[in-house]
A = this chain, B = another copy of it.
Amino acid sequence: MAVNLTIPPDSAIHPVAGIRIGVTEAGIRKANRRDLTVFQLDEGTTVAGVFTRNRFCAAPVLVCKSHLESGEPIRALVINTGNANAGTGEPGMAAALQTCDATAALLSLDPRQILPFSTGVILEPLPVDKLCAALPDALAAAGNNEWMNAAHGIMTTDTLPKIVSRQLDIQGQRITITGISKGAGMIRPNMATMLSFLATDAGIDQALLNHLAGRLADASFNRITVDGDTSTNDSFIVMASGQAGLQVQSEQDPAFQPLFDALQQAALELAQLIVRDAEGATKFITIRVEEAGSQDEALRVAYAVAHSPLVKTAFYASDPNLGRILAAVGYAGIEDLDVQGVNLWLDDVRVATRGQRNPDYQEADGQRVMQQAEIAVRIALGRGAVSETVYTCDFSHEYVSINADYRS
């Protein structure tokens, strides 16, 4: 059950000139499932990526990094669901490279111009022959307006496709931004069992795009958490085809800020869609920490609250058992925290004042907010001026069911 997850109508999904997508059935894990997606990028498209920091990162992540570093222009992305090709050692690397070789041969490109992505179960061999056998079908299916099929084609335990699309005018040019994401469990910053592909027809200089990708991820995918589990395969890719005519070279360019803001908003929405469709989620929770002494301590507190199973089950139950939030603040690792400086709100309801229950707080007010599908927790630490916001969800019976039965 997703929380207020809106799927845009086809008419609101704008193709991105210079980018064609094909989706097909490769039979990676299940039959009759479109599980292979190929992006083809026109010449001139710049591409940058941000990847998981998990030391057990998957073979395709290693190959992506190597191919991006090679400097060869990226011309295709190949994405399979059903198998993560992680914990698979040398045969896994060989499979990821074979995927690139086969795609390159079909498109008359260098294998380093291909980026491979995999998502699904870990520690099982990727059926690379099935994947490669289906590549011609995926290429033949290529079209401009296949974004919704791609959003479906990269899903694992997602219940709904995740897609964001918008257009805006910058310096008289109509610019399109469209992206998809997937991921529902093993989600936490740096990053998630998540894939996201964000494209624009604006042109962005390669060096600038490399820098931008990190900034976009930090304010979006690196601010969401479902279960605190950092996946082996997380990848966020930004593509700029340049076919709209606008070309941005540097942050000083007047077109930079409006384009960045729009990409940032799209990335944040794609990240939030993952939380909205998180495994078993029934509530969408925004945790904002204010008056922190540093970004590090703001994030420590936000994640301590966001990861606490006791807090998350209280949200699930709509139970304003808010001492659990204070307890999480208390164990977040700020050794010199003065609890008398801590204030806590649930939406507009002030729950705790100076580290203790607000004398005016009425349980009925807390109960009212807890019953909402979207809840904002605001924690002021009284230590400084730094704020950070993290997005998460509640912890339900359904989460346990999904993760206990995932492979069956």
Given contacts A88-B357, A323-B86, contact A55 B310 (CB under 8 A): no
Which of A68-76, A111-119, A329-337 forms part of the interface with chain B?
A: A329-337
Closest to A355 in B: B89
Contact present for A308 and B229 (CB under 8 Å): yes
A321 contacts the other chain (CB 8 A): yes
Contact present for A323 and B355 (CB under 8 Å): no
| Number of chain copies forming the complex | 2
Which of A162-170, A247-255, A267-275, A391-399 forms part of the interface with chain B?
A: A391-399
Contact present for B86 and A327 (CB under 8 Å): yes
Residues of B within 8 Å of A310, CB to CB, are 185-186, 227, 229, 403
State in angstroms the CA–CA spacing of A314 and B53 once bound together.
23
Residues of B within 8 Å of A406, CB to CB, are 319, 321
Residues of B within 8 Å of A330, CB to CB, are 54-57, 230, 232
Contact present for A317 and B405 (CB under 8 Å): yes
Q: Mark A224-239, 1 if CB is under 8 A from B, else 0.
A: 0001111110000000
State in angstroms the CA–CA spacing of A14 and B232 once bound together.
52
Closest to A56 in B: B330
Among A3-54, those with CB < 8 Å from B are: 53-54
A198 contacts the other chain (CB 8 A): no
A229: which of B319, B327, B356 is its contact (CB, 8 Å)? B327
Q: Mark A53-86, 1 if CB is under 8 A from B, else 0.
A: 1111100000000000000000000000000101
Contact present for B229 and A355 (CB under 8 Å): no
State in angstroms the CA–CA spacing of A185 and B313 once bound together.
12
Contact present for B231 and A327 (CB under 8 Å): yes
Contact present for B122 and A403 (CB under 8 Å): no
Residues of B within 8 Å of A230, CB to CB, are 327, 330-331
State in angstroms the CA–CA spacing of A132 and B383 once bound together.
38
10 contacts between A and B (CB under 8 A): A53-B331, A55-B337, A56-B327, A88-B357, A89-B357, A121-B321, A121-B323, A185-B310, A319-B404, A400-B400
Contacts from A to B (Cβ < 8 Å): 53-57, 84, 86-90, 92, 121-124, 185-186, 190, 227-232, 307-310, 313-314, 316-317, 319, 321-324, 326-331, 334-335, 337, 339, 352, 354-357, 395-397, 399-401, 403-408
Given A56-B327, A123-B356, 9 further pairs, Cβ under 8 A: A54-B327, A55-B330, A87-B323, A87-B352, A87-B355, A89-B354, A230-B327, A313-B400, A317-B408
Shortest 9 CB-CB distances between A and B: which pairs?
A122-B323, A56-B330, A89-B356, A123-B323, A317-B404, A313-B403, A230-B331, A54-B330, A55-B330
